[in-house]
Chains A and B, each alone.
Chain A
Amino acid sequence: EVQLVESGGGLVKPGGSLRLSCAASGFTFSSYSMNWVRQAPGKGLEWVSSISSSSSYIYYADSVKGRFTISRDNAKNSLYLQMNSLRAEDTAVYYCARVGGGGNKNWFDPWGQGTLVTVSS
């Protein structure tokens, strides 16, 4: 069974840092691009960052560029998101998601259950 399990969320003060992890199982992790997507309370989905299978291609949403860093360890079947200089507006449930398709046909399937990040003093 394909499974993604996020961890690392919690309460952090504005300006603080947090590192999220996503443990993958049930598929060949090193063959897939991976993403982080977030959802603020009561709001819609917002794509955060993407990393290709070999980490050659990395993309960020403008809202997190320069503050967040995505990475992966294919030997450990794990995806990470290092979040620095956190702001109140970063408060959200963060999901990791596997990319399906290829080329210009990229979708997210499956998704993890999410981990909540709360930025508040």
Chain B
Amino acid sequence: SYVLTQPPSVSVAPGKTARITCGGNNIGSKSVHWYQQKPGQAPVLVVYDDSDRPSGIPERFSGSNSGNTATLTISRVEAGDEADYYCQVWDSSSDPSYVFGTGTKVTVL
């Protein structure tokens, strides 16, 4: 089955840039989506199809995807960005399934 690997944690100072990676075999050939989850809340989609933003999501959130790594970038980080972030793909193999990354805790210093 397809595996997505994320760093367990990323720390960033307010106003700086946070980059969260999502590694997978030839992930650049897939469409990658990103979710933000704050404690006690349901996940929220922040980036879809590698780099598109749903309405209401700040431009500070951006995504890229190439080779074996997809990246979620949060620019000008704010205290309210502190949360868990998950990447996700659709694996259309012989046994189709949705796959989530292991998750990354973003801490704002």
Residue of B nearest to A100 (CB): B48
Question: In the bound complex, how far is the Cα of B109 from the Cα of A73, in angstroms?
Answer: 47
User: Roughly how many angstroms separate A99 CA and B70 CA in the complex, as a whole number?
Assistant: 21
Q: Does A107 contact B (CB under 8 A)?
A: yes
Per a CB cutoff under 8 Å, which of B33, B48, B96 touches A59?
B96
Chain B positions within 8 Å of A, measured between CB atoms, are: 1, 30-31, 33, 35, 37, 42-45, 48-49, 54, 84, 86, 88, 90, 92, 95-103
With a cutoff of 8 Å between Cβ atoms, the chain A residues found around residue B43 in the complex are: 45, 95, 108, 111
Name 8 extra pairs, CB < 8 A, besides A44-B100, A105-B31, A108-B88: A35-B98, A44-B101, A44-B103, A59-B97, A104-B30, A110-B42, A111-B42, A113-B42
Q: Check B49 against A45 for contact (C-beta < 8 Å).
A: no
Query: How would residues 95 to 119 of chain A score, 1 for a CB under 8 Å from any chain B CB and 0 otherwise?
Result: 1000011001111111111100000
Distance between Cα atoms of A113 and B37 in the complex (Å)? 12
Contact with B along A7-25 (1 / 0, CB 8 A): 0000000000000000000
Q: A70: shortest Cβ distance to chain B, in Å? A: 13
A27 contacts the other chain (Cβ, under 8 Å)?
no
A contact residues vs B (CB 8 Å cutoff): 35, 37, 44-47, 50, 59, 61-62, 95, 100-101, 104-114
Known pairs A95-B43, A101-B31, A107-B33; A45 contacts B86 (CB<8 A): yes
**Contact call B90/A106, Cβ cutoff below 8 A:** yes
A44 lies within 8 A of B86 (CB): yes
> Do A109 and B100 contact each other (CB < 8 Å), given the known contacts A45-B43, A45-B86?
no
Closest 3 CB pairs of A and B: A47-B98, A107-B33, A105-B31
Q: Are A101 and B96 in contact (CB under 8 A)?
A: no
Minimal beta-carbon separation of A111 from chain B (angstroms): 4
Residues of B within 8 A of A107 (CB): 31, 33, 45, 48-49, 88
